[in-house]
């Protein structure tokens, strides 16, 4: 593995308040990193930063050899190497097929029917290709959102609570797809989740954020079995009141 993301002395401020402050964090190429923490811990802000949608107030994010900072904005080519699946699928008012094709079309790719078919089959929605996307159930819609991201074959796939409010069947299905993507295609995964069991199932390492600060990052086994910080232990055991 080699380093894909390297964050150094990164802070993000909103209206004079520091919502994220990470002194150092590396994400290795091909790893699955789960980000856990209570609401307002800065998890989603971290994802926006990693997708270059929001610049850091101070510090820098290195992505391969490219720098992203307040002074150095991300190029379109850089942004197109990463994508995010959010908690809400946010599908466009088009067919399932057109939604999955959307990112490819943004990149000027016209002949992408085979890739769309394959990806829809991977998420179990091949037969829904021509259906209006907004008529799908919540779980199906989220799988379309996942397919729309997967078809781009990004270096890093960022997932912001992708299975929140979904039924167990769809949660299981999405977890399988994400695990396969990481294992078979080597896609780097950064998964924000409130579900620590999901983090345990999917991640190689887990990062715990609290009040915008990095409290601990460790391999999954150590994180859950022998956390170094007492606050991590309290969070894992469900004893943290917030």
- Residue numbers at the binding site for another protein (CB under 8 A): 48, 51, 53, 76, 79-80, 83-84, 86, 88, 90, 92-95, 102-103, 106-107, 132, 148-149, 152, 158
Task: Look at residue 3 and give its three-state secondary structure.
Answer: strand
Minimum gap (Å) between residue 91 Cβ and another protein = 9
Q: Give the C-alpha distances (Å, rounded to integers) separating 235 from 52, 225, 232.
A: 29, 12, 5
Of 193 and 220, which has the nearer Cβ to another protein? 193
Nearest to another protein of 10, 159 (CB atom)? 159
Instruction: Give the span between the Cα atoms of 89 and 80, in whole angstroms.
Output: 19
Residue reference for tokens 């998890």: 43
In total, the chain counts a number of residues equal to 242
CB of 53 to another protein, least distance (A): 6
The residues with which 22 forms a beta bridge, in sequence order, are: 10
And the tokens for 184? 């078979």
Nearer to another protein, 92 or 121 (CB): 92
Give the rounded distance of the alpha carbon of 127 from its chain centre: 27
Q: Give me the least distance between CB of 158 and another protein, in Å please.
A: 8
Distance CA 145, CA 177 (A): 12
Give the nearer residue to another protein in terms of CB position, either 154 or 227.
154
> Minimum distance from CB of 52 to another protein (Å)?
9
Side-chain half-sphere CA neighbours of 107 within 13 A: 19
| Choice between 140 and 216, CB closer to another protein | 140
Least distance in angstroms from the C-beta of 105 to another protein: 9
């Amino acid at each position: 593995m080699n380093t894909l993301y390297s964050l150094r002395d990164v802070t993000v401020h909103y209206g004079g308040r520091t919502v994220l402050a990470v002194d150092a964090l590396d994400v290795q190429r091909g790893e699955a990193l789960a980000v856990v923490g209570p609401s307002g811990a800065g998890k989603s802000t971290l994802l926006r930063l990693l997708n270059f949608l929001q610049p850091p107030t101070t510090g820098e994010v290195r992505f391969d050899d490219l720098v992203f900072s307040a002074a150095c904005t991300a190029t379109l080519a850089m942004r197109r190497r990463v994508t995010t699946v959010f908690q809400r699928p946010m599908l466009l008012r088009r067919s399932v097929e057109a939604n999955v094709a959307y990112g490819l079309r943004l990149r000027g790719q016209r002949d992408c029917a085979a890739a769309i078919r394959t990806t829809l089959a991977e998420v179990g929605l091949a037969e829904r290709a021509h259906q209006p996307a907004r008529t799908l159930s919540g779980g199906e819609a989220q799988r379309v959102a996942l397919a729309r991201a997967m078809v781009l074959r990004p270096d890093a796939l960022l997932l912001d609570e992708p299975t929140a409010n979904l039924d167990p069947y769809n949660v299981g299905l999405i977890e399988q797809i994400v695990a396969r993507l990481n294992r078979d295609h080597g896609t780097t995964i950064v998964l924000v989740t409130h579900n620590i069991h999901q983090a345990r199932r999917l991640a190689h390492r887990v990062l715990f954020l609290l009040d915008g600060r990095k409290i601990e990052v460790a391999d999954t086994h150590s994180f859950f079995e022998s956390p170094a910080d007492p606050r991590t232990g309290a969070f894992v055991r469900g004893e943290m009141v917030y």
